[in-house]
Amino acid sequence: MYTVLLTFLLWFTSLSRVKLSISEGSFHPTDLLAVFKQTTSSTRSHIRAAVLLYNTIEIIREMVYTHTMAELNHTELLSSEDMETLLDATGCSTEMKRPVCKSDCLSERYRTITGHCNNRQTPLLGAANTPYARWLPPEYEDLHGAPRGWDPQHSYHNFILPPVRAVSQEVLYTQNENISLDVSLSHLLVEWWQWIDYDLTLTPQSPSTTSFKMGADCTHTCSRDTPCFPIWIPLSDPRAGLQSCMPFFRSAPSCVGQSAMWYHREQLNIVVYGSMVYGSSEELSLNLRNCSSHLGLLSHNQPHSDQGLAYLPYLQETISQSMTRKTLTSMGNLTFCFHAGRPQGVANEHLGMIALHTLFLREHNRLAEELHRVNPHWGPDTLYQEARKILGAVHQVLTWDHYLPHVLGNKEYSKLIPPYDGYDPKVDPSITNVFSAAAFRFAHVTVHPVVSRLGPGHQLHPDNPPMPLHHSLFAPWRVVEEGGIDPVLRGVLLSPAKLQAPEQMMVEELTERLFQAQEGLPLDLGALNLQRGRDHGLPGYGAWRELCGLPIPANKSEFAGILGNVGLVRKLLALYGTAQNIDVWVEAISEPALPGGRVGPLLACLLAKQFRALIDGDRCAEEQITKTQSLSVSRIICDNTRIRLVPLDAFIRTLHAEQLLPCTHPNVTHLNLSAWKEPDTDIDECSNQLSACPVNLQCSNTPGSFICSGMHAYIRSFHTG
């Protein structure tokens, strides 16, 4: 019935695609955010198909019907045959096609880079470039996926949702000086959270910077028209005289499976566990390898080293036409960004991420070299795969056994995450939407506003003075020119995390100075988090309490009993009207922490539920975990830096340098690789099936490789603006 119409609409929507275009001299904070959400070719193919699908359905709806969708049964719009035709024509059928899983020994021994075929029965579960899972159905404002709050006058439980910037200003905003410090935990806990967050979730935003219907530039309009979903600035806001709204782009939609009869908007996760070091696509993983090495090493930086130790390779750039070589030369080596497993140079976001990326690049190469000494008959691909397998297990041990008990509290951890009992193919390890867009953003309220770097004596050093957080953003040159990663690691080991408290939520470095530059006003991370949750259709606070078996507050008194703070309850109810409406992220971080932990009951439930699914649904977890349980972050620092004194538990705050242990201390345990020893006669058929590493791909073809050339003037302005 709709075949001719579909053909026309697909052609029409293809004309409406607008590529991200950034020219020198017109950079704004949203430009940088957009660039760092750009993707590899495989992801762009998926997004293109999904955008075509979504836009075509929207046009069909508007052209065929004049009355509101609320009056329609959604199955009246497209038959199952129409939907199949549409999925095929847009390319979504291809993108969501069930992969064929190999049954050879290589496939049994090593996980795929993309995460496909981890689950043999359902090979897309937990893979990169698949939709986030849902524990609760989305609550969009209408049937076709408008975000919560899309219509400012739409009511929920008889109340209108407040502007997210108002929530940020009235509930979250905390002056940098008005914070309490965590007396127990180090800032490494915060850095490790972001390291794991970036390893598990990455949601691409819309590939276009202009609205689909009207063609308006989303960075300069306050009109709501997908993908533009601007953040309104209330009249009482200090920014009210400077801007009417803050630009915000909706997350790109994802494709749906071939059996879908109706398309409701879902979002895409484009990474898979282990991606920080190795990438989530074959293209990127090969790009990161040193294919000239017979040891299975990852590529490292050639122009520079950190006292003889490796830096990350530079993201080889294509010099944009708007930038002259003379301009680049005048900037010296500051024009480069580091290249790692996260797409588009996100490793450069701040100094802590650069340090951890560098640390684990070195650890992979150290493991590969040690494995070569243990098994000199192993070839480079076996060494690469075995080192990758060990490092994956190390990350699981450090996260599940070392990090999570500090977050949940030992008692809650024991209750919610029982001892690992082996792989369960019935468990879906996919990251859930609420985890990505809300729950695992909890640690934003523990970020310290000052970045401390310490000298060899673990004291402040005149060459590396403390700096405000926004001066450490996208500043890879600070590592190369200001002492390497050792001062950064000493700083996070000995500096405390910020303590979350009802009147001390999110520091102004994040709400008022995020991506501060000479052009464009800074972004607000708290408002971005809230808007993202609404964009993804996350239900309100009460629905998640119910999911976790927790009581839902029926009145102000019960609400105050849950939060333990009458003043905070008054603020939230004045904004939202009812606890049912409160955005899950802001309410979850408002709950008082459980004993010994740093999150309340709702976050403990959601985090434990996700991390338990990740480990129970991982087919490759079991074999290596028992062999790597003795390893610690401190040992990895000892093995890969010039730091010789470390804490026993790197997540616990060390008050005085005298409490640190030498790397030679028996409690700073080595990983004994003799367990991986194989006799020369044990070269099996599986090893022979490992294909030789192909010629390394050229980074110059990497999308967005202009980041540190075309955008360098903007990035540098963080530190002068």
Number of other residues whose CB lies within 10 A of the CB of residue 450: 18
Torsion of Cα atoms, 518 then 498 then 547 then 551, to 10°: -120
Report how far Cα 623 is from the mean position of its chain's Cα atoms: 27
* HSE-up (13 A, CA, CB side) for residue 146: 13
Tokens of 194: 């972001």
- For 613, list phi and psi in degrees, rounded to 5: -65, -40
Q: How far apart are CA 62 and CA 196, in angstroms?
A: 42
Q: How far apart are CA 140 and CA 74, in angstroms?
A: 15
Contacts 24+ apart (CB under 8 A), 417-421: 417/608, 417/611, 417/612, 420/615, 420/616, 420/621, 420/622, 420/625, 421/616
Q: Are 198 and 346 in contact (CB under 8 A)?
A: yes
Q: How far apart are CA 618 and CA 126, in angstroms?
A: 9
Q: What is the DSSP string of 118-138?
A: SSSSSTTTT-TTEEPB-SS--
Residue 116 annotated in ligand binding: no
* Burial letters 277-289, b for 16+ CB under 10 A, else e: bbbbbeebbbbbb
Residues forming beta bridges with residue 251, ordered by sequence position:
205
Q: How far apart are CA 265 and CA 148, in angstroms?
A: 13
Neighbour-count burial of 163, counting CB atoms closer than 10 A to its CB (0-12 exposed, 13-18 middle, 19+ buried): buried
Q: How far apart are CA 639 and CA 274, in angstroms?
A: 20
Q: Which residues contact 684 (CB under 8 A, 6 or more apart)?
A: 105
Q: How far apart are CA 32 and CA 27, in angstroms?
A: 8
Peptide bond between residue 227 and the one before it cis (omega within 30 degrees of 0): yes
- For 210, list phi and psi in degrees, rounded to 5: -125, 155
Q: How far apart are CA 603 and CA 553, in angstroms?
A: 16
Q: Are 433 and 670 in contact (CB under 8 A)?
A: no
* Burial letters 210-247, b for 16+ CB under 10 A, else e: bbbeeebebbebeebbbbbbbbbbeeebebeeeeebbb
Secondary structure letter of residue 342 according to DSSP: S
Q: Are 530 and 585 in contact (CB under 8 A)?
A: yes
Tokens of 283: 């293209």
Q: Are 91 and 48 in contact (CB under 8 A)?
A: yes
Q: How far apart are CA 445 and CA 315, in angstroms?
A: 31
- The angle subtended at Cα 563 by Cα 561 and Cα 569, nearest 5°, is 95
Q: Which amino acid is at 564?
A: G
Which residue reads 């899983």 in tokens? 101
Q: How far apart are CA 157 and CA 245, in angstroms?
A: 26
Binding-site residues, in ranges, read 444
Binding positions for heme b: 444
